[in-house]
């Protein structure tokens, strides 16, 4: 696959960068180097065992600069923007096929039985729900990517199985960051669940972010897309005019002329255009946004050839992911929900619209330069009041309508004490912050765990 004397440089020591180093080592590559701009990057000791040379602390370091100038292949971790100035000359110098990320390397190693899922929201739920569905079937199943184990770790695990009675199947969640450096993927089915504004601190504009997501469509034999997304339809019309309708499955909550899969709320079934039905009556997922995730999952699984019985069993057996609209407890008739995974406004919008009950909302954190003006209309939808927390809540404050009471709480514990005193039986307290967590927490997982601990202490 690579010339024996080729020099490979990995940018980033995170879990993804480490997986690249392990995979290259397994492939017999001898000249592996790595750089990281952090003074104390993770996995430094493990990377040192796999790499000939390393440089940490700055990409401008003389050792880092020498490695960038001399490498034959550049493998960039998804957390490192392609527009990083110190990488520009290396990216320009190397052939395009010599620059990639972990998914690009995976794509060169695995050519079949790949289901790839991306989208602004819902991709983790759909990925793991598909894992539950395909667990019913005779596959050597691997689920991960941007979620859980990196794709290359999954590939190595599949290679380690000496007796491969079952053929491997990879179900991968892919982020826009990963798709930026991927161009050789051969997914059997690629699903683009939705598009909304996110990561605008990384991309030059919304169109740039959308372009990264749309890259998956070009690299998938069949695609599953929402029935009401003009940007995707415009892309198909201009970029992929030869793609036949038989290769496209469209999903929606409602039946319309464009929809191939939709939800029958009355019968609690997902219905396909051919008239087949899958019950979701026993699912533990809550909210209309999760119902849409179920419809998308049914579309993907059915298009892959899974029986309706297996799909229904997978939906019934599925255990919802932590920190995603999860019920924590009920206190005095008020139910508390942890949706800490909502790190952007579109995720919070989905949660708000997914719960019909009157809601007390906790918002705030690191805004990532998002536009919060849609809150003016969104907060009119059954919101009793808003508690604001985190570093950037002042950026949210001007977009709260005058009719909605708000409380500048600053911290989660203060917010919960405030809302417990106000919420009435039948209402809910929804922690769906619409922001990143790194101002006060290590990540959304820690933020969610602390929220649940505080709720149990009320």
Give me the catalytic one of 8, 22, 123, 213.
123
Give me the catalytic one of 199, 289, 323, 359.
199
293 is catalytic: no
Binding residues for ATP, by number, are 119-125
* Own/partner pairs, 154-157, CB within 8 angstroms, 24+ separation: 155/23, 155/106, 155/109, 155/110, 156/22, 156/23, 156/26
pLDDT of residue 424: 97
Q: What is the dihedral of CA 215, 218, 224, 227, to 10 degrees?
A: 80
pLDDT of residue 274: 87
Q: What is the 3-state secondary structure (H, E, C) of 82-105?
A: CCCHHHHHHHHHCCHHHEECHHHH
Give me the catalytic one of 113, 146, 194, 338.
146
pLDDT of residue 243: 82
pLDDT of residue 198: 62
Domains in the chain (CATH in brackets) are 8-99 (3.40.50.720), 103-317 (3.40.1190.10), 326-457 (3.90.190.20)
- What does pTM read for this prediction? 0.84
The CA R_g of the chain, rounded to the nearest whole Å, is 23
pLDDT of residue 244: 82
199 is catalytic: yes
Residue 76 β-bridge partners = 11
pLDDT of residue 199: 63
Q: What is the pLDDT along the chain (458 residues), one digit of tens a residue?
A: 898 899 999 999 999 999 999 999 999 999 999 999 999 999 999 999 999 999 999 999 999 999 999 999 999 999 999 999 999 999 999 999 999 999 999 999 999 999 999 998 899 999 999 999 999 899 999 999 999 999 999 999 999 986 777 899 999 999 999 999 999 999 999 999 998 766 666 777 788 888 999 999 999 999 999 998 999 999 999 888 878 888 999 999 999 888 999 999 889 999 998 889 999 999 988 888 889 999 999 999 999 999 999 999 999 999 988 888 888 999 999 999 999 999 989 889 888 988 889 999 999 999 888 889 999 999 987 899 999 999 999 999 999 999 999 999 999 999 999 999 999 999 999 999 999 999 999 999 999 999 999 999 99
CA distances from 311 to 49, 133, 256, 268, 276 (A): 44, 5, 23, 14, 12
Rounded Cα gap, residues 93 and 91, in angstroms: 6
Binding residues, by number, are 119-125
146 is catalytic: yes
pLDDT of residue 350: 84
Rounded Cα gap, residues 311 and 302, in angstroms: 8
């Amino acid at each position: 696959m690579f010339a024996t004397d080729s020099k490979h440089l990995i940018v980033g020591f995170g879990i993804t960068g480490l997986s690249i180093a392990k995979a290259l080592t397994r492939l017999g590559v001898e000249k592996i180097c790595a750089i990281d701009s952090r003074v104390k990057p993770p996995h430094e000791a493990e990377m040192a065992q796999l790499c000939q040379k390393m440089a940490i602390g700055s990409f401008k370091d003389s050792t880092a600069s020498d490695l960038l100038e001399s490498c034959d292949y550049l493998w960039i971790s998804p957390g490192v923007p392609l527009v990083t100035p110190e990488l520009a000359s290396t990216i320009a110098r190397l052939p395009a096929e010599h620059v990639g990320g972990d998914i690009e390397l995976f794509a060169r190693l695995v050519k079949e039985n790949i289901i790839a899922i991306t989208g602004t929201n819902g991709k983790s739920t759909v990925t793991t729900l598909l894992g539950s569905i395909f667990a019913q079937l005779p596959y050597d199943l691997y689920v991960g990517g941007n979620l859980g184990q990196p794709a290359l770790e999954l590939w190595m695990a599949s290679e380690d199985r000496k007796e491969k009675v079952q053929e491997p199947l990879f179900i991968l969640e892919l982020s826009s960051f990963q798709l930026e450096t991927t161009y050789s993927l051969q997914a059997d089915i690629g699903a683009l669940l939705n598009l909304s504004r996110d990561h605008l601190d990384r991309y030059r504009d919304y169109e740039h972010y959308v372009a990264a997501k749309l890259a998956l469509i070009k690299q998938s034999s069949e695609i599953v897309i929402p029935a009401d997304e003009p940007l995707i339809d415009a892309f198909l019309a201009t970029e992929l005019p030869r793609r036949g309708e038989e290769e496209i499955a469209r999903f929606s909550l409602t039946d319309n002329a464009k929809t191939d899969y939709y939800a029958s709320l009355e019968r609690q079934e997902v219905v396909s255009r051919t008239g087949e039905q899958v019950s979701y009556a026993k699912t533990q997922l809550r909210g209309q946004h999760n119902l849409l995730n179920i419809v998308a999952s049914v579309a993907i699984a059915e298009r892959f050839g899974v029986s309706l019985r297996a799909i229904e069993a997978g939906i019934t057996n599925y255990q919802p992911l932590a920190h995603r609209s999860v019920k924590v407890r009920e206190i005095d008739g008020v139910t508390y929900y942890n949706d800490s995974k909502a790190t952007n406004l579109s995720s919070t919008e989905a949660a708000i619209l997914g719960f019909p009950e009157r809601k007390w909302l906790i918002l705030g954190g690191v805004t990532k330069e998002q536009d919060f003006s849609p809150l003016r209309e969104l907060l009119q939808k059954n919101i009793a009041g808003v508690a604001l927390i985190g570093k950037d809540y002042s950026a949210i404050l001007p977009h709260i309508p005058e009719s909605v009471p708000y409380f500048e709480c600053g911290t989660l514990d203060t917010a919960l004490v405030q809302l417990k005193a106000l919420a009435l039986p039948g209402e809910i307290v929804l922690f769906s912050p619409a922001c990143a967590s790194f101002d006060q927490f290590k990540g959304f997982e820690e933020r969610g765990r602390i929220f649940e601990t505080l709720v149990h202490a009320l």
